Amino acid sequence: MSVIEEERVRGAVFKDINAEDEDQQPTVIESLCMNCYENGSTRLLLTKIPFFKEIIISSFSCPHCNWTNTEIQSAGRIQEQGVLYTLQVKTKEDMNREVVKSDSASTRIPQLDFEIPAFTQKGSLSTIEGLLDRAVMGLEQDQPIRKVCVLFFIIIKLIIDDPSGNSFIENPFAPQKDTALTVTHYKRTPEHNAALGIEEEENDEKPGNDLDAMRNEVLVFNTNCPECNAPANTNMKLVQIPHFKEVIIMATNCDSCGHRTNEVKSGGATEELGTRITLHLTDPSDMSRDLLKSETCSVLIPELEFELGMAALGGKFTTLEGLLKDIKDLIVSKNPFMCGDSSTADRAEKLELFGQKIDKIIAGEMDVHIILDDPAGNSYLQNVYAPDPDPEMKIEKYTRTFEQNEDLGLNDMKTEGYAEK
């Protein structure tokens, strides 16, 4: 059997989660109860949910002692970057936020000096309250003070750090910005890769000898489809954007599932100043403007009270219409809490209304502003009046804050003392 055929079989095994699919039944296996050591039963279901990709859900129950246990395990690919969620739990409503926590994620509550290290618990699909309930169970012996703090609810900070990038905390205000939740994507360390079982690729190429080749030809290398994980080819090309700079464009096409994606990396260094580009949309023709969104760029639409954080869509070279369609797809179509038991009528109606407003913006039926805010200064929006100024576009340069430099990894970068003596 070829690799592509194996991936097609894999796609048939891991079906999309659907309550109306009568054929999607769990596999029941007789297994030993670790509580009373009698025989119980384990139910296994192989399925897929948005953002968490392919998963294995297992549920154990014992008819002798009534002990039950439910676990969730990611069966999909490891994401390109790790993710760090920081949530300020301020209200009781925050306890109802739904959480996807993979087994490679660590959980910390600094106020209680409490931590659940990575790989010490199986993955789970739960709520903040569910996570804290598990914490209480672990604090029942010899730690009464911290147990009381959790039981009677104090304002706490919950931190989930997942190097695999496969964990998720719900934003109940979507598509609006969640002021209590901070999401940071980061590059994994060699220690993270070792813990995840990822082998780092050795780079034997001499520096600086590929730039001319990248300018003059399209480089092709083997990779895996980010959607179905089947073998695919990625094309890479160094492109000069007029009135801007060189960028690296990578495009992946999957022959197995038809998925297409493109990603853009800056071909230069981080700029000395950040860039904020504000465009007032006045005509449907604005949708055809070329747009470069780096992976460090945030997208804001003030009239919709909407903000898309950096790294949410990665780097993209597209049009303004393409960016808006990607935003709608991410917020509405691929939202993990828009389907199944996690979906509510109010939430679905709110996100559906947001999608309709995006459609109106694309059709030129709403008077809005689009803001690209890039602390690294590596994003671009086409000026259709170039080389003259664009009357509807404002470009501002600004000094980065300490927090922005921290997110870009610039605060720890030392450039002094490297001159040859």
Q: Is the pLDDT of residue 286 over 50?
A: yes
Considering only residues 339 and 108, tell me which one the structure prediction assigns the higher pLDDT: 108
Q: Is the pLDDT of residue 4 over 50?
A: no
Q: How far apart are CA 125 and CA 97, in angstroms?
A: 11
With pLDDT > 90 as the criterion, what percentage of the chain qualifies? 26
Considering only residues 92 and 398, tell me which one the structure prediction assigns the higher pLDDT: 398
- For the ranges 144-148, 279-283, 383-387, the lowest mean pLDDT is seen at 144-148
Q: Could you please report the per-residue DSSP string of 267-329?
A: SSPPPSSEEEEEEE--SGGGGG-EEEE-TT-EEEEGGGTEEE-TTSS-SEEEEHHHHHHHHHI
* Mean pLDDT, residues 61-69 taken together: 92
pTM of the predicted protein model: 0.63
If you average pLDDT over every residue of the chain, what do you get?
A: 79
37 Cβ neighbours under 8 A, 6+ residues apart:
none
Q: Is the pLDDT of residue 115 over 60?
A: yes
Place of tokens 């069966």: 75
Specify the length of the chain in residues: 421
* pLDDT digit string, tens, across residues 215-262: 667 888 888 887 777 888 888 888 777 666 777 888 888 888 888 887
* pLDDT digit string, tens, across residues 40-56: 999 888 776 554 556 77
> Of 24, 30, 26, which Cα lies nearest the Cα of 12?
24
Amino acid (one-letter) located at 252 = T
pLDDT class of 138 with cuts at 50, 70, 90 = low
pLDDT class of 417 with cuts at 50, 70, 90 = low
* pLDDT digit string, tens, across residues 342-353: 556 777 788 889
pLDDT class of 363 with cuts at 50, 70, 90 = very high
